[in-house]
Homo-oligomer: A and B are copies of this chain.
Amino acid sequence: MEVGFLGLGIMGKAMARNLLRNGFRVTVWNRTLSKCQELVSEGASVGETPASVVKKCKYTIAMLSDPSAALSVVFDKDGVLEEISSGKGYIDMSTVDADTSSKISEAITKKGGYFLEAPVSGSKKPAEDGQLVILAAGGKELYEEITPAFNVLGKKSFFLGEVGNGAKMKLVVNMIMGSMMNALSEGLCLADKSGLNPQTLLDVLDLGGVANPMFKLKGPAMIKGSYAPAFPLKHQQKDMRLALALGDEHAVSMPVAATANEAFKKARGLGLGDHDFSAVFEAVKGKGSSGDA
């Protein structure tokens, strides 16, 4: 099966590589074309532009960093829209808001193409291991056709109905994740200042009802102050912001998420936007360790 793949960031590269390794013929494109070299050496072809990738491939998958990149790849000169046509499918796996998704969907389908939004849950490691969770919505037929690729990229895919629902589900999941990361950060601070061993806290958490892979994976690194970006903080904060905006639209009050979002903002203000989102721990800690009476 032949697929195009647009966007070779942390996630995209791992995903395109998995497709290659599982026998897909993959034509890749990236804004900085030099980033394609590694995958070429593993068997990928290169497209000069998004348009040329779409021209060549029946199915094109995109994995871009944010809504503006997702829009740009479609609508800009040499973009997807120039070559999409009847019989071709475009699958956008970027995490974007529902409005962006709808805009892309309309443009694609107007040209006769098929569109599927399919954001994923999971970051670098699951991407590498083909263990993503795929939240697809839009064209049911395209969903079925692209399932072989989803089977390689993820451990499970959901079809969630109309375009926008994939984006929304992703935001809800990431909002919960962001609040949990704040909860852990506050807990680690409190343990430390109260004379408890933060690593023991992690051990206790891992044995109880709230044990989860994220705490287990990121907790020890947080204690060491190590924040190599699996999921950059600025993207996590963007997702919190979009989730809160979705809540605003529906008059849903979410004070815990809103408070967590402000901590992520503070972390961005501290220059931690490009670190892993677990670096919110630094913002939670503040400088305030000297104590007082």
The chain A residues found within 8 Å of chain B, CB to CB, are 121-123, 126, 133, 135, 155-156, 158, 160, 165, 168-169, 172-173, 175-177, 179-180, 182-184, 186-187, 189-191, 193-197, 200-201, 203-205, 207-214, 217, 234, 237, 241, 243, 245-248, 250-263, 265-274, 283-284, 286-293
Q: Do B210 and A165 touch (CB < 8 A)?
A: no
Q: Which residue of B lies closest to A189 (CB)?
A: B252
CB of A125, distance to nearest CB on chain B (Å): 9
Q: Do B252 and A190 touch (CB < 8 A)?
A: yes
Kindly list chain B residues whose C-beta atoms are within 8 Å of the C-beta of A194.
168, 172, 246, 250, 252
A-B contact pairs, 30 of them (CB 8 A): A126-B209, A133-B208, A160-B197, A169-B196, A169-B200, A169-B201, A172-B191, A172-B196, A173-B187, A173-B205, A173-B208, A176-B183, A179-B179, A180-B183, A186-B252, A186-B256, A189-B252, A209-B212, A211-B213, A241-B248, A253-B265, A253-B288, A255-B258, A256-B256, A256-B260, A258-B259, A258-B262, A269-B291, A272-B292, A283-B286
Further 17 A-B residue pairs, CB within 8 A, beyond A133-B204, A173-B208, A186-B252:
A133-B208, A160-B196, A169-B200, A173-B187, A179-B183, A186-B256, A190-B246, A247-B265, A251-B268, A252-B265, A253-B286, A254-B265, A258-B259, A268-B288, A269-B290, A270-B290, A283-B288
Q: How far is the CA of A217 from the CA of B196 in the complex (A)?
A: 29
